[in-house]
Amino acid sequence: MSASSTNSIASAEAGRPHRSWPKTAFTSSLAAILGGQLAIGVVALIAEVSYARILGPAARGAISLCLMSIAFGTLFGGLGGEGVIVYWASRFKNKPSSWLSVVLATGAVGSALAGALWIWGYWSLRLPFLRGVSPSSARIILFSIPSAIFFAYVMALASGIEEFRLRSGSALLRQILTLSSFLLFLVFLGRSVDAALWGNLAGLLIGASVALAVMWPHVKCYFQIKDAASHLKPTLAYGVRGQVGNLATFFNYRLDVFIVSYFLDSTQLGFYAVGVAVSEALWQIPNAVGSILFPRTGRSSKEDATPFTCFILRQVLWITSLCAVLVALVAPLAIPLVFGQRFRPSVPVIWWILPGIISLSLAKVGCADLAGRGKNGYSSVSAFICFAATAAADWFLIPRMGINGAALASSLSYSLDAFLILLALRHETGVSWRAFFIPLRSDLEAYRLLWLRVGALAPSLFPGPRDKEIPLLSREGS
């Protein structure tokens, strides 16, 4: 969104009565999201184990292909609405406006387009890499795409108004409903991929509906239809600019699933899906940080946002690296024990992809900061470059190395993406490379204060007087 567009909208909003939203401490929001994601991760692990042990590698591969198809349809049909919702909601909190009605209208159009694209690709073109999808699963995918767009919009709205506990709770509810519905549908549909897809659809619809019902008193003011025309152009401009990059980013992350499906069978895809799912669990930290950093950067001055983002990048790098080492060491024992001996080929996949997982953790944080500055164009350029690199590496390595080649190709592409995003962030902030990677003495002081803060919050769990809250950073500002 251009500065002139934002200023004109802000002028139009001036003078309207509004209620200021309470500022949320970054560490409190991060704790809320990480706590929720820890619970989500546990439920997701149970779901993965259930898919693997109940359905087997081949069905697990088919589930992965179906879920990736839903994810693509969601991204294509969402028309960049998620980024628009977070950006606008963080800048114009609780002010009467009509931007959300514009986003929902474009999302409805996008859902229809995505559905038509799926019908064309599956039933008309009969694309060869979709041969692992049955006709009944294809019909469930068609219903799931608009439901997933609805869920994505609601989660973005919760992030934009900084209701992170609600966001985490809704995501956890969705995961629990997905798992429980899958187990329920097993009774009626037997051990089938369709049972998992119907469970996913139930989780999306119920989770989003509950979250929207809770948020409704706070967001109903965003539906002032009379001003919709003034918001149409800037809303579409920001969304489309980010959408192009989002599509390229999706293929950068997920093209390997489709190419593995093209060259190999569903069993190999199942091994690959488990290895990727285990490795990508490390993204919970940068994903949580990015969800909070995006709106925080959007409402902060450059002088405040830059040192804070550099601090966050350093912590994400070292924490993710430590976790990656632990995963690499534990995987040879844990994968056969948890998922079964049949999934032992997933272990090398984890080893090959972990370096890229670490690299892309930094890119996720950098993209969140750039989006908060209104500079999401960098992500688009980087995504297109990496998409080309991913396609070339996948087509070269998968026929020669199988699923390990797909993991290596992803690592190379993720590392390139991280370099380009950090290069753009360095250009925008003017800081040195050392600021992104090398810990400072003040980082240790921040950890000391965090430890004291945890100690200060502990008495709230037990009877007795409460201590004063201790801030994590003196310049946190929120």
Compute the mean pLDDT over every residue in the chain, rounded to the nearest whole number: 82
Could you report the per-residue pLDDT of 424-470, keeping only the tens digit for each? Answer: 999 998 999 998 988 877 766 666 665 565 555 555 444 444 444 33
Q: What is the band of 345 on the pLDDT scale with cuts at 50, 70, 90?
A: very high
CB contact set of 227 (below 8 Å; sequence gap of 6+): 12, 97, 98
Radius of gyration (Cα) for the chain, nearest Å?
22
Q: What is the mean pLDDT of residues 98-120?
A: 87
- Please give the Cα distance from 261 to 60 (Å, whole number): 12
- Please give the Cα distance from 251 to 249 (Å, whole number): 5
pLDDT at residue 342 above 70? yes
The pLDDT assigned to 477 comes to 36
pLDDT at residue 204 above 90? yes
CB contact set of 155 (below 8 Å; sequence gap of 6+): 82, 167, 170, 171, 208, 211
Give the range among 259-268, 280-289, 341-350, 356-365 with minimum mean pLDDT.
Answer: 280-289
The pLDDT assigned to 478 comes to 37
CA nearest 427: which of 459, 475, 382?
382
Region at 17 (left for phi over 0; alpha for psi -120 to 50; beta for the rest): beta
pLDDT at residue 13 above 60? no
- Please give the Cα distance from 212 to 108 (Å, whole number): 17
Q: What is the band of 474 on the pLDDT scale with cuts at 50, 70, 90?
A: very low
Could you report the per-residue pLDDT of 387-424, keeping only the tens digit for each? Answer: 899 999 999 999 999 999 999 999 999 999 999 999 99
The pLDDT assigned to 462 comes to 43
Query: Encoding tokens for residue 382?
Result: 């980087």
Q: What Å distances lie between residue 232 and 4, 84, 87, 245, 375, CA to CA?
A: 14, 11, 15, 20, 20
The more confidently predicted of residues 380 and 42 is 42
Domain locations along the chain: 22-445
The pLDDT assigned to 246 comes to 73
Query: Encoding tokens for residue 242?
Result: 């980010």
Answer for the pair 343, 274: CB distance below 8 angstroms, yes or no.
Answer: yes
Q: What is the band of 23 on the pLDDT scale with cuts at 50, 70, 90?
A: very low
Answer for the pair 186, 195: CB distance below 8 angstroms, yes or no.
Answer: yes
HSE of 372 in the Cβ direction (CA atoms, 13 Å)? 29
HSE of 126 in the Cβ direction (CA atoms, 13 Å)? 1
The pLDDT assigned to 228 comes to 52
pLDDT at residue 4 above 60? no
- Please give the Cα distance from 196 to 186 (Å, whole number): 8
Query: Encoding tokens for residue 373?
Result: 């500055």
Q: What is the band of 29 on the pLDDT scale with cuts at 50, 70, 90?
A: low
CA nearest 410: which of 248, 258, 272, 253?
253
Distance of CA 203 to the CA centre of its chain: 17
CA angle 37, 39, 44 (to 5 degrees): 85
Give the range among 79-88, 180-189, 260-269, 429-438 with minimum mean pLDDT.
Answer: 79-88
Q: What is the band of 166 on the pLDDT scale with cuts at 50, 70, 90?
A: confident
The pLDDT assigned to 473 comes to 43
The pLDDT assigned to 295 comes to 76
125: DSSP letter: S
Q: What is the mean pLDDT of residues 211-233?
A: 70
464: DSSP letter: S
State the CB neighbour count (10 A cutoff) for residue 330. Answer: 13
One-letter amino acid for residue 60 of the chain: R
The pLDDT assigned to 441 comes to 74
Query: First-to-last CA distance in the chain?
Result: 24
Q: What is the band of 157 on the pLDDT scale with cuts at 50, 70, 90?
A: confident
CA nearest 297: which of 305, 286, 307?
305
In terms of C-beta density within 10 A (0-12 exposed, 13-18 middle, 19 or more buried), how is residue 87 classed?
buried
Could you report the per-residue pLDDT of 81-105, keeping only the tens digit for each? Answer: 887 787 777 665 656 566 677 788 8
CA nearest 60: which of 159, 250, 191, 186?
191
Distance of CA 122 to the CA centre of its chain: 26
pTM above 0.95, yes or no: no
The pLDDT assigned to 290 comes to 84
Give the range among 107-116, 176-185, 296-305 with minimum mean pLDDT.
Answer: 296-305
234-238 contact pairs (CB < 8 A, 24+): 234/1, 234/2, 234/5, 234/6, 234/9, 235/84, 235/88, 235/99, 235/102, 235/103, 235/106, 236/102, 236/106, 237/1, 237/2, 237/5, 238/1, 238/80, 238/83, 238/84, 238/87, 238/374, 238/376
Answer for the pair 23, 478: CB distance below 8 angstroms, yes or no.
Answer: yes
- Please give the Cα distance from 478 to 469 (Å, whole number): 14
pLDDT at residue 262 above 60? yes
Give the range among 63-67, 153-157, 322-326 with minimum mean pLDDT.
Answer: 153-157
Q: Give percent above pLDDT 70 in the chain.
A: 78
The pLDDT assigned to 5 comes to 39
Distance of CA 441 to the CA centre of its chain: 31
